[in-house]
Structure 1
Amino acid sequence: MVALRSGLDDGQRLAAVASLGDPLRKKLFELVRDSGHALSRDDCAAGLGLPRSTIRAHLDRLVEERLLLVEFRKMGERTGPGSGRPTKLYTAAHSEVSASVPPRHYDLAASLLAAAVQHSIDTGTDIEKSLAQVAYREGQRRGAAAGDIHQLLHSAGYSPEPDGEGGTIMANCPFHRLSQDHTGVVCSLNGSLLSGALEGCGDQRHDLAPDANISHCCARLLPRSGPPR
């Protein structure tokens, strides 16, 4: 399996996965990822038994898709003038890469559930309260980083759409399959996450409300009717 966990939007994740559909690029990515240290173009060519010219184009593509990172470093013991040009080296930007259509983020749900269990064990807090606290804090963190609730909803895969009345519905649930089997737990997690996101964004224009339409997310944004909090 190759999960891009941050820094890329859904389109970029799909492009990265598509890039790894090429068998040679996949082998090259795995070679760099599993090496434990930065590799040069010569290292990659030797590792796969291919010409440097062939390897170069595939390395460039993997860098372009943000699957590999580049650094320049002088190799050997000699330094200073006359020691030669720095060598271009490659390291893996991610250990796993995954994408789905529509977007799903089961890794986030798993991380929050595991953190909630650990919090409950460490503090003796009821597991339901622990999950609400952990998800809310994560929402706050993500909201503060995004700065805008609609930007966050887009990047998190909710596929937000205007409802025609100043509110926003979510055309996609990032936790869809889990929510089918564990509705109460997942919708509670989702509600706390989005509530924290509103707080983290400093959003004073919207409130979170339940959405009974089962074709998409269990929550929606409504324009705030009362005074700002």
Structure 2
Amino acid sequence: MTTAATPPEPTAENRVESVAVLTDGQRRRVFGFVRRARRPVTREEVAADSGVSVKLAAFHLDKLVEAGLLRTRYETPAGVRKVGRRPKVYEPTGTDIHISIPERRPDVIAEILIDAVLTEHQEGSARAAALRTAHRRGHDVGSAERARTRPGRLGPERSLNAVEPVLESYGFEPDRQAPTTLRLLNCPFHHLTARDTELVCGINHAFLTGVLDGLETTGINAVLAPHPGRCCVEFCEPGADAGA
């Protein structure tokens, strides 16, 4: 079974900005109304629900669109009489917003484990299937990044340049120690390691190895190098002293 590549998720900075937009009480009410409607709504409907002018409703709606929480298009909603040109309507984007500092990403591990269990009957034990699935998921992520950036041939240093943005987007907080050595200061899956450290670290290692393989890097390995307060994986040249 091939795991489909997942679309890029909002960065931590994007999520903070989205939450900041919702600090305004009136804007939260507008957002809540649009979400509860379960259909595209007009500025006039939002204004009527919120008890504000259409102009102010439009202002709040457009701020929510800018933050990525709503999307907009032109159409006549069901139950609204068509008069003249189609009105601008708003609906949720479906993006879930969560904030954690430092970044935690248990959802990635959860998705991998679910996919692994679904393939267990075909490919062996659940643990082995989890590692295979993690590598496939990482490979999809790396391949998508390579297709997006078209970096050409990647030697050791350029490999780390290519993988750093991916690691940052997943909350690993990459820290370049040398041109060809990269530590990860944060484990996005930290809370899950208490359940089974060996399994979670193994999945993490397989996922990050898959990212490198998808990017088609050379001269850099993802190696297990457990260290208190850091991710268990580091990136370095083969034979380098990892974990110091």
TM-score bucket of the superposed structures, by smaller chain: 0.7 to 0.9
The alignment yields a C-alpha RMSD, in angstroms, of 2.2
8 Å CA contact 1:74–1:84 kept in 2: the answer is no
8 Å CA contact 1:14–1:100 kept in 2: the answer is no
8 Å CA contact 2:123–2:129 kept in 1: the answer is no
Q: In the alignment, what sits opposite 2:153?
A: none
Aligned length: 217
Q: In the alignment, what sits opposite 1:53?
A: 55
8 Å CA contact 1:33–1:95 kept in 2: the answer is no
Distance 1:179 1:32 in 2: 38
TM-superposition CA deviations, 1:188-220 (whole Å, max 9, x none): 110111011111111113111112322110000
**2:127 maps to 1:128:** yes
The offset of 1:30, in angstroms, is: 2.2
- 1:70-219 aligned at under 5 Å gives the runs 70-74=72-76, 84-94=84-94, 96-120=96-120, 122-123=121-122, 125-147=124-146, 148-164=162-178, 166-219=180-233
1:63–1:137 Cα change, 3 Å: same
Distance 1:31 1:74 in 2: 18
Distance 2:86 2:219 in 1: 53
Distance 2:138 2:185 in 1: 19
1:125–1:30 Cα change, 3 Å: farther
Mean alpha-carbon deviation: is it higher for 43-52 or for 33-42?
Answer: 43-52
TM-superposition CA deviations, 1:31-83 (whole Å, max 9, x none): 212322111111211233332222122111111111111111256787xxxx7
Q: In the alignment, what sits opposite 1:221?
A: 235
Mean alpha-carbon deviation: is it higher for 84-93 or for 136-145?
Answer: 84-93
**2:103 counterpart SS class:** coil
The offset of 1:224, in angstroms, is: 4.2
Structure 2: gaps of 5 or more residues: 1-6, 147-161
Amino acid at match of 1:16: S
Distance 2:187 2:132 in 1: 21
Distance 2:94 2:210 in 1: 27
Query: TM-score, normalization: structure 1?
Result: 0.86
1:205–1:22 Cα change, 3 Å: farther
Structure 1: gaps of 5 or more residues: none
Distance 2:94 2:129 in 1: 30
